[in-house]
Structure 1
Amino acid sequence: MKILVKLDELHAHVRANKWMRYFTTFIRLALVAGFLPAGYVKIIGERFTDLHNNQPMGHYLEALHHTGYYYTFIGYAQILAALLLLIPRTVVLGVLLYLPIILNICILSFAVRFEGSLLTAPLMVIACIYLLCWHYDRIKYIFPFTQPLVSPLPQNNKFPIRFFALVFAIFLAVGFTVMNMYKIVPRNTLSDCETQCDDSDNPEACKVFCESIHNNGQDLDKSLKIYEQALKNKRR
């Protein structure tokens, strides 16, 4: 129970800081901006990007575009989540709808190594988790524990330097991780893909990978196997 009391006290302390409230509003608006355009494109029935079908993410989005009302349903879900985030009384409901959608996009981005959302998707997931923590006082009642009562604290105008330093560190850590977690990625076009070959340990094997993706239309796993085989052949 002491842990719950400490959590409530910490939450009350954070909620009382005006800079934290400003930051939370910024996070909400940023998430709204991330889903409104994406949802609108799906509702009007347009393809989400101009990636060609041979590119792994482009292949997925093309198939998704042809799913009919399921594609439109995703658009309405994104718009609804964004609108719920705009209304203070429905923020928690909006986050609970937003989080599984963006988590799916995040995992998809990692699965197909799509650089377009390798950074933004995990940051948006973290932003959703932050909003859930911010509204801890609303969601804590779903846990099977006796909840202590903590009175609201007066407004605190002190700038939370440590918190924003932590936010900056998380941004750098996520950015560094996603930029270095893969030796090779398909990128959006053949020319973009081949730009990474100059810095590759084996430029020819890299070009084989890019051509396998963008010219031959092979899926990512098969193209990676072709790339690994090209590396082995080069070493012999």
Structure 2
Amino acid sequence: MLRTHAGGDACVPVASAICHGPRTTIEKEILRNQNAFRKNVKQNALDYAFQVEAMKLENILDGLHVSLTRRRWTQLFTVFTRILLACGFIPPSIKKILHQPFTMLPDSNPVGHYFNALYETGFYYEFIGWAQLAAAILLLFPRTAHFGALMFLPIIVNIAVLTTSVGFVGTWVLTILMSLAAIWLVAWEYDRLKPIVFQTRAERTRSIPYQFISIPAFFAIGGAVMAFLWKLIRLGNFSNYLNIGFLLVGIGLVFGFVVAVHYRFMRVGNLETGGDELI
């Protein structure tokens, strides 16, 4: 259908008038829906591409894990490694639990200085011993060996870095080998740990109205309240609490924005618990 101008010498489509004229509410809603659809399509395409790459890596690791864990010699080696590492942790853990010095080196020696200072930390010294003993005991039982491996690894890596840093002659080689053995034990539990790496939660967090404004504003108000309380109790004895207030408000805004971004992209786990619904 054509519409003729007043002069009668030109015709333009009605659709042109609609496009160039003011948009109606329906047209605006259609455009919003189209933009939202394009964003969803783009996001789904990116998610699909990421899932494809993850599946490739997942298949490679699955095949490697199966080929290793199905061999008798690797199974025996894993059992041997578990028992050996457990035995390596039990004696030093007992000394710490009984609060006995780990070494007799003088403070002039970097190793002796460190362990003598560690010995003076009170129950923290004993806590390290209990942690080592717990990791060792967990490694001894097949049912709990995966917990033992996960607990053993950070402890022995910390010890390896320490002994290498202070130049503990000979011991640093042993602790590095123990760290590699602990990595083997964690890798052996790949089938248990796989869901943490490759399974993606499908559900998103529930939206908050104007969350990129409301959440930073909430923490900014919290910063202002904190500044008022600081001034009220004279915390820190600052000369200008007004500047402190502005600083805390700014920190609250930045902190709140980071919280809002994290909340926006966070996924939520969902367990089937008999149809319970989120309230």
- TM-score, normalised by the number of residues in structure 1: 0.59
Task: Quote the sequence identity (%).
Answer: 46
Match of 1:56 in 2: 110
**What amino acid is aligned across from residue 130 of structure 2 in structure 1?**
Y
Alignment equivalent of 1:45, drawn from 76, 83, 99: 99
Alignment partners' CA distance in 2, 1:72 and 1:13: 41
Compute the displacement of 1:33 (Å): 1.4
Alignment equivalent of 2:151, drawn from 89, 97, 116: 97
Compute the displacement of 1:97 (Å): 1.2
Is 1:113 the counterpart of 2:163? The answer is no
Alignment partners' CA distance in 2, 1:75 and 1:26: 23
Alignment equivalent of 1:139, drawn from 168, 180, 193: 193
Is 1:10 the counterpart of 2:64? The answer is yes
What is the aligned length? 146
Alignment partners' CA distance in 2, 1:26 and 1:144: 30
Match of 1:26 in 2: 80
Highest RCO, 1 vs 2 (Cα 8 Å, sep ≥ 6): 1
Is 1:35 the counterpart of 2:98? The answer is no
Gaps of 5+ in 2: 1-54, 201-279
Gaps of 5+ in 1: 147-236
1:193-232 to 2 correspondences below 5 Å: none
What secondary structure, in the 3-state scheme, does the structure 2 residue paired with 1:46 have?
coil
What secondary structure, in the 3-state scheme, does the structure 2 residue paired with 1:67 have?
coil
Alignment partners' CA distance in 2, 1:134 and 1:82: 17
**What amino acid is aligned across from residue 148 of structure 2 in structure 1?**
G
1:141-220 to 2 correspondences below 5 Å: 141-145=195-199
**What amino acid is aligned across from residue 2 of structure 1 in structure 2?**
K
Which digits, 9 at most, give the CA deviation of each residue in 1:42-77, with x for residues without a partner? Answer: 011110122222110111101111111000000000
Which digits, 9 at most, give the CA deviation of each residue in 1:96-115, with x for residues without a partner? Answer: 11111111111111111111
Alignment partners' CA distance in 2, 1:90 and 1:55: 39
Query: After the TM superposition, which parts of structure 1 deviate over 3 Å for at least 4 consecutive aligned residues?
Result: none
Tell which structure's C-alpha radius of gyration is larger.
Answer: 2
Compute the displacement of 1:91 (Å): 1.3
What secondary structure, in the 3-state scheme, does the structure 2 residue paired with 1:119 have?
helix
C-alpha contact 2:163 2:172 (8 A) present in aligned 1: yes
Match of 1:84 in 2: 138
Alignment partners' CA distance in 1, 2:132 and 2:67: 32
Alignment equivalent of 2:179, drawn from 125, 147, 154: 125
**What amino acid is aligned across from residue 141 of structure 1 in structure 2?**
P
Tell me the C-alpha RMSD between the 2 structures.
Answer: 1.3
